[in-house]
Chains A and B, each alone.
Chain A
Amino acid sequence: MKEYIFLGLLLSVLIIIFIAYEVPSKDDFSPENPLFNGLSQASMLAGMVQENVGSLSSAPPNSTLFIIGPDKSFSNIDANEVKSFLKAGGTVILMDDFGTGNSLLEALDLNVRFDGRLLMDPLFMYRNPALPIVKFSMNGSALNVYFNYATVLDGNLGNRCIGYSSAFSFLDSNENGVKDQDEPFGPFCVAASFDYSLGRLIVISDSSVFINSMLDKGMNEKLLSMLSGNGKAILLVGYWNQSEYTFIRNSLMSSLYALLNTWLLYPFVIVLTILGATFGKIAYISLAKRGKGKAPQDNIQEILKRHPDWDEEALIRLREEMRQ
C-alpha cells in the first residue's frame, strides 16, 4: 500500500512541477507573466534582473532600480537600502498609482506624493478616458506615453516635473467617469525627477506603463529604454502581493533552480536514486505477486461466496475448459 502512496505522490509532484513550469504566473507586474498585466516583455527588453531590497548594496553604481506598483509599504530598513542605493549614484524609478509608493517618498523626505485620484482624459486617450496619453520630456526629446488607470503627483514640483497630462485631463474624484464641476482640470504633473545625492529618483504616477499590453502603445517602449540607461537594470521584487499559485510556483522553481545549478544537485541525485531503487523494487515485487493471482480454488471459493446459488462443479469445469 505504501508503495502506491509513494508512487502517487511522486506522480503528483512531477505533474505539479510540470504545471508550474508550463503555466506562468498571472499576477500583476510579474516578470514571468506573459499576459496583458505582466512585465515579461519589459523585463526582457530592458534586461531586468530580479533582486530583493537586501541585495541592492552589491549593485554597481550606474544601475537603475525599477520599483513598479508596490503593494506593501516600505519599512525604514528597506527605505534606507534604497536611500543608500541612491547615494551611491544609482537611479530609482518609482512607478505607482493607488498603492503604497508614498511610504518610500516619505522615508526619502521628498516633497512629492501620489495623489490617489483617478486621472482621466476624454480627448488625449486610448479608447477610454481612463487610458490617458501624457507628454514626457526626457533628455531633450518629447515622448507621448500611454497611461492606464493612473493618478497624478502632488507637491511643489516646479521644473522637476518631466511629464504632464493634457489640458483636457481631469481628476475623477468620485470615479463616475465624467467631469464634475468640483473636479479640477489639467494639465497635471505625472512624472518628476529628483537629484538625490549622487543618484536620481524618477517618480511616475502610473504603475502600468510597462505592462505587456501597454508597452507597444505610443512611446512607452522608448521611455523604458531611456529610463533603463546603459547600466544594470534591476526589478525590485518582494513588494507585490503574490497569489497562492505564484507563491508555490516561485518556491518550486527557485528550489529546482537551486538544485540544478548548485552543488546541492549531487546529494539530491544520490537520494533520489536510492529512493527510486528502494521503492521501485517494492513496487516491482508487489506487481509481480499480483500478476500471479490467487490459487484457482480460492478464486472459485470467492465467486461462490458472492453467488451461493451457483454450481461449484460447473465453475470448476468451466475453469478447466478455459485453461485448455
Chain B
Amino acid sequence: MKLYGIMLLLFIVFLPLTAESTTIPRHEDPSTIRESWNIMSYFSSLSYVSKYVSAGNYSSANESLTDIVNSYIPQSYRGVIDRTNSLMNQILNQLNQTEVLLEQTEAYINQTNFTAAREDLDHAKIQLNMANITFLSILDALSTLPVGAGGASGYLSGLEERIAHLDSKLSALEDLLRNEPYIGTKIMIDAEPSSVEWGGSIAISGMLSTEFGQPIPNRAIEIHVGNKVLETFTEENGSYRIESNVTAYMPQISIYSEFIPRGEDLFVYRYSRSDVVNITVHYISAIISVDLDKKIYLPGETAHLFLHSNLSFPLPFSVISTIGNFTGILNGNADVALRIPDDVGEGSYSLTLLTPPYGKIAPFRWEGNITIVKLPSNIIIDIPKKVIAGKTYVINATISPPSYIVVYSNIGQAVAEGSYIKFHVPLLYFGKSLSFELVATPFNSSYRGVAFSSEIEVINPLPIISAVLLSGGSLLYFLRYRLGKIRIDIKREKIGIPLEGKEGPKGSIINEVFALISKLYGVNMEPWMTYREYMRLLLNKIEDDLATFISDILTKLEKAVYGKKDHASLLKLAEERASILYGKLKSKLKGE
C-alpha cells in the first residue's frame, strides 16, 4: 500500500515537470523574464545606418536609426547608447545638410550666381566640420562599450567614407569658385504706361550690359509679366523691347527681366536680374449674390438658388456640389433648381458657384453650404412591460412611414413579420428580464431610420409555484406538528403528570410518587428528562420489583398520553397502580 502511495506521489510530482520541459511556453511574465541582450546586435544595426549613409540614402538611414532608438537597451548600457543614438541623429542631419548645400552650390555655379554659391559653400564647410567632430564623439562614446572604439569604427566605416567623399567634393567646388572666370552683367527695365485697362498693351524695354557698361547684344532675355514669362533678344546696342497684352485679373502686376547665361555664355557671363516695375490693371469684378429658398432640405426635394448679378449682361455660370451640378447663363437674375438625390445622407454639403473669366470681367467664385436633414420616423410599439415565461407574444409595431424591421433579442426567438413582432419566451428561461431591440429602416429615404430598445420584465411561474408549494407544505407540516404537540400537552396537564421538560402540577398521585422516589433514591424527574431517561437513572438504584412496577406505570401513562382514545382507560389503571406504589414507597420510607 505504501509503495503505491509513494509511486502516486512521484507521478504527481514529476508529471508537470516532464510536460514543462518539452513545450514552448505561451508567454512569460515580462517583469521576471531573464534579461538577454547581445551588444553585437546593436553594432550590427548601427552598421546598417552607416551603409545607408555611405550610399547617400539618408531617409533609410534615418528610418533605421529611429528603429534603433526604439530597440531594447539594458539599463546598464542605456546612458552610453542613448548618447550614441543622439550623436548619430546629429551626424545624419549634419551630413544631409552638407549634401543639400553642396548641391545648391553646384546649381548656383551652373547659373553663374557665384555670390550665392560661395555663401552656400561656406555653410557646407561648417556643417562638414561639425559632422567630423560628431563622428569623433561617437567613437569616443562607443569606446566605453566592451567592443571599444577600434571595433566600433569598423561598423561605422560607411560614415567615414561619406565624410571623406563630401570633403573631396567640397574642395573641388572651392577650387572652382576660387578660379572663377566669369564677367558680371547688369540688366535694366522700363514699362509704359504705368496704368492699363485689362487686355491693353504695355511696352517693356531695357538694356543688358557687362558690369563695366559694355552692351551685350543678341542675348535672350526672360521678361516676367505677372504670372506670364516672355522672351526677347537684345539688339546690337544691348537694348531690348517687347509689347505685351495684360490679361491678368489682378489690381497690380509686377514686371522684371532676367539674363540667364546659356551655351557658351555659361563660361563667360554671370546671371543678373533687373529691378521690379509695378503696373496698375483696370478690369470689371462681377458681384453675384446667392440666396437659398430654404435653410434645410429633405432628400428628394429641389433646392432653389436665387442668383443676382450686379452686371446687366449674360454671364455663363456653374454650380458644383457633391449632391449635383448645374450650368446656365446668368442674365441679371436666375433661379437655379437643384434636385437633391433620394439616397443622400443627412449633413451639410458644400456648394460652389463659378463664373469663368469673360473678357474684362474677372471670374467669380462663391462658396456656401446646403443642409440636408431627414424627417423623423414615428414608432408606436405596444410592448408589454411584463411577460410570462412559456408564452408566445405577438406585438404590433406601427411605424410611419412603412419600414423594413429587424428585431434582436437575447432569447434569440424574436421574428418580425410585417409590422408584427412575434417572440416566444421559453418556459425554462429563469432570467428576470430580457432585452429587446428593434431597428426600422424606412422605405422612403426622406425619413430617418429608427431604433428602439427595451428591457422587458419576465415572470417565470415555475419557480414561483414551487416556492409557494414548498412554503405552504412546510407551514402545514409545522402547524400539524405543533398543534398535535399542544393537544398532547393539554392532555398531560389534565391528568396531572409533569410535562416532559417541565415541572408537573403538585398534588396528583403520580407527582406524589415522583416526590417519594426522589426522597428515597435521590433521582429527580428533571425538566429536560424523558420518561425513559428518568427510568434509566432509576434502574441502577431501585429494587427490581419496584422498578418493574414503575416501568409499568410509566408505560401505561405514555400510552394514555400518546395513544389517543383507544388507550384512555390506561390512565385510570396507571393511577390505581400509582396509589399502590405510593403505599409501598410510603411504608418503605417509614421502615427506614
Contacts and interface: CB of A to CB of B under 8 A. Distances in A.
Interface of A: 28, 36-37, 55, 57-58, 60, 69, 97-99, 118, 122-131, 133, 144, 146, 148-149, 166, 168, 175, 177, 207-208, 211, 213-214, 217, 258, 261-267, 269-271, 274, 288-289, 292, 295, 297
B76 interface: no
A262 B431 contact: yes
A295 B67 CA distance: 91
Nearest to B48: A167
Contacts of A144: 70
Contact of A128 (B23, B33, B409, B540): B33
B67 A166 contact: yes
B26 A292 contact: no
B587 interface: no
Contact of A126 (B30, B34, B44, B67): B30
Given A28-B27, A133-B71, A295-B537, 16 more contacts: A36-B30, A37-B27, A58-B412, A123-B42, A124-B70, A127-B30, A127-B33, A127-B37, A128-B34, A149-B28, A262-B431, A263-B464, A266-B463, A266-B464, A289-B528, A297-B537
A270 B27 contact: no
Contacts of A271: 470
Give the contact-size bracket for chain B. Answer: 35 or more
B111 interface: no
B72 A127 contact: yes
Nearest to A292: B528
A271 B466 CA distance: 10
Given A262-B432, A263-B463, A274-B470, A213 B45 contact: no
Given A123-B72, A270-B470, A217 B30 contact: yes
Nearest to B462: A263
B25 A149 contact: yes
B408 A213 contact: no
Contacts of B526: 292
B72 A126 contact: yes
A122 B72 CA distance: 9
B30 A133 contact: no
A72 B470 CA distance: 44
B470 A267 contact: yes
A264 B463 contact: yes
A122 B30 CA distance: 15
Given A148-B27, A262-B432, A131 B33 contact: yes
A177 B36 contact: yes
B471 interface: yes
A133 B30 CA distance: 13
Interface of B: 23-31, 33-38, 41-42, 44-45, 67-68, 70-72, 389, 408-410, 412, 430-432, 458-460, 462-464, 466-467, 470-471, 474, 526, 528, 537, 540
Contacts of A292: 526, 528
A289 B408 CA distance: 63
Given A168-B45, A289-B528, A58 B408 contact: yes
A292 B471 CA distance: 34
Contacts of B464: 263, 266
Contacts of A295: 537
A133 B67 CA distance: 10
B36 A36 contact: no
B27 A149 contact: yes
A322 to B, nearest CB: 18
Contact of B41 (A122, A146, A262, A288): A122
A214 B29 CA distance: 8
B430 A258 contact: yes
B540 A133 contact: no
A213 B28 CA distance: 9
Given A270-B467, A292-B528, A58 B26 contact: no
A263 B31 contact: no
Given A128-B36, A270-B470, A297 B540 contact: yes
A207 B467 CA distance: 47
B348 to A, nearest CB: 23
27 contacts: A98-B24, A99-B26, A122-B41, A127-B33, A127-B36, A127-B72, A128-B34, A131-B28, A144-B70, A146-B30, A149-B26, A166-B67, A168-B41, A177-B36, A207-B27, A213-B27, A262-B431, A262-B460, A263-B432, A267-B463, A267-B467, A267-B470, A269-B467, A270-B470, A274-B474, A292-B526, A295-B537
B467 A266 contact: yes
B410 A98 contact: no
Contact of B471 (A37, A126, A177, A270): A270
Contacts of B459: 263
Nearest to B465: A267
Nearest to A296: B522
A33 B23 CA distance: 23
Contacts of B409: 58
Contact of B70 (A128, A133, A258, A266): A133
Contacts of A297: 537, 540
Contacts of A263: 389, 430, 432, 458-460, 462-464
A129 B27 CA distance: 12
A57 B410 CA distance: 10
A297 B540 CA distance: 10
Contacts of A99: 26
Looking at B24, B38, B42, the one whose CB has the most chain A CB atoms below 10 A away is: B24
B71 A124 contact: yes
Given A123-B42, A208-B26, A129 B466 contact: no
Contacts of A265: 463
A181 B466 CA distance: 74
A148 B463 contact: no
A70 to B, nearest CB: 11
Question: Sorted from nearest, which 8 A-B pairs have the closest CB atoms?
Answer: A262-B430, A208-B27, A263-B463, A266-B467, A36-B29, A122-B41, A263-B460, A148-B27
Contacts of A124: 67, 70-72
A94 B28 CA distance: 20
Contacts of A36: 29-31
Given A270-B470, A288-B528, A213 B29 contact: yes
Contacts of B463: 262-267
Contacts of B23: 98
Looking at A69, A148, A211, A289, the one whose CB has the most chain B CB atoms below 10 A away is: A148
A123 to B, nearest CB: 5
A127 B528 contact: no
A297 B389 CA distance: 66
Contact of A130 (B33, B44, B408): B33
B88 to A, nearest CB: 15
Nearest to A262: B430
A204 to B, nearest CB: 14
Contact of B27 (A57, A123, A211, A267): A211
B470 A58 contact: no
Contacts of A213: 27, 29-31
A273 B389 CA distance: 26
Contacts of A269: 467
Given A128-B35, A270-B470, A98 B26 contact: yes
A69 B259 CA distance: 73
Looking at A126, A129, A131, A270, the one whose CB has the most chain B CB atoms below 10 A away is: A270
A282 to B, nearest CB: 14
B20 to A, nearest CB: 13
A144 B35 CA distance: 20
Contacts of B474: 270, 274
Contact of A133 (B35, B38, B41, B72): B72
Contacts of A146: 30
B242 to A, nearest CB: 51
Contact of A97 (B26, B431, B470): B26
